[in-house]
Amino acid sequence: MSFLLVTLLGFGIILTTQNPVIADETSSLQELANKITEYTNKLNELKAQSNTLSNQIAQYNAKINLTETKILQTQEQIILLGGRIDQLDTSMQKLEEAFTSRVVETYKIARYGDSVIDLAAASNIEDALSRYHYLQKIQAADRELLTKLRDAQNTYLDQKTDLEELGQVLSAQKEELDLQKSAKSTLLTVTKNDEQSYQNLLASAKAEYEAIQSIVAGYGEESEVGQINAGDRIASVIQGPSCNSSGGHLHLIVRDNGSTSNPFNYLKPGVSYENCSGSSCGNGGDAFNPTGSWEWPLNGTIAFTQGYGATWATSNTWVGQIYSFHNGIDIYSSDPTVKAVQPGTLYRGSFTGANGCRLRYVRVDHKDSSLETFYLHINY
């Protein structure tokens, strides 16, 4: 009996004692957590300062440092958890061996105990009862051992799942780091590291944002064209930069009873596309997840450059200095033809902003519906 209790106690030590190496890794995790707090505070300080090119680059550097530290933190967590899983694996093996051994011994004692109790009626009842109580303690210890084994198995499976999830987190963090580095490089290329070029970029984006907001609010000058069908040509995308856009694209907005809605809720899936909503095409960014039934307003492969709502660009680039919510989606293709996604009444309109730039658009008031679609950065 005493041997079994010592064995169980020993397993308890195996399951709970921390390896010195793991203890060092835990200390390292705390240091990384402190650095993450430091970089986060630095980033918040930079955001509160004046919006200059040097400040924006400093923000990129802080974000890059922050992401790199998070990667190190995740890698340390993987190592730490891997060590614990190895310990659990060893403990489980020993628990299984001990339990198998105890089952055999308990069976032998139980048979011996039964024979003793049968003989006890004619000889030594005190010895028989003593052995009977001993057997009960052995069986209770066996049940405790079995419980420890099951708990160890459950913990092992849970931590294996946690390890897999950490692997996914690490992969996403590495992708985010690549995007941040690319975004920084792109900004330096576009502005040629020149402060005035950066300020011009901001001013143009602000003018575009204000014009789009005014159009959605109903302040555009419009004229009715007439009834159109789904698939009819209604405009063409401006090729190249314009006074309200740094590059050719279609800004598609869906409005329902005065409020914008995500166009992906209406556009049908299955279209050929390339995701360019990160720092470059093919590098992720916003989710491309259409779930509706409408045909797309552009022909051919869709190049997707920004999604709806809080986007990768608003969180990771200078665009976030102008707005935090994108009220449509930005797309383009090799064919500039713009088509109506639904039948309705077509309107041609424009809005002239404070900078004197005239933003043209077309609007379709959908037939028998509260929905409208706006198509911006176009000619008609």
Amino acid identity of residue 226, one-letter, is: G
Class for the domain spanning 2-191:
mainly alpha
Q: Give the pLDDT of residue 135.
A: 64
Are the CB atoms for 262 and 308 separated by under 8 Å?
yes
**251-261 core/surface letters (b: 16 or more CB in 10 A; e: else):** bbbbbeeeebb
Residue with tokens 């459950």, as numbered in its chain: 154
Tell me, what's the pLDDT at 156?
Answer: 67
Residue 326: phi and psi, rounded to 5, are: -100, 120
With contact defined as beta carbons under 8 Å apart, do 375 and 238 qualify? no
**What pLDDT is attached to residue 192?**
92
Domain boundaries in the chain? 2-191, 220-379
For position 122, what pLDDT does the model report? 42
CB 290 within 8 A of CB 273: no
Per-residue pLDDT of the chain (380 residues; tens, 9 = 90+): 333 333 333 444 344 444 555 556 667 889 999 999 999 999 999 988 888 999 999 999 999 999 999 999 999 988 888 877 777 677 667 766 766 776 666 666 556 555 544 544 445 666 666 766 766 776 677 677 667 767 777 776 777 788 889 999 999 899 889 888 988 998 999 899 999 999 988 988 898 999 999 999 999 999 999 999 999 999 999 998 887 777 899 999 999 999 999 999 999 999 999 999 987 787 778 999 999 999 999 999 999 999 999 999 998 888 988 999 999 999 999 999 999 999 999 999 999 987 888 999 999 999 999 999 999 999 99
Return the C-alpha torsion angle 215, 218, 219, 221, nearest 10.
90
Q: Which residues contact 145 (CB under 8 A, 6 or more apart)?
A: 8, 11, 95, 98, 99, 102
* Residue 57 and residue 187 in contact, taking contact as beta carbons nearer than 8 Å: yes
Alpha helices in 17-124 (DSSP H): 20-47, 53-120
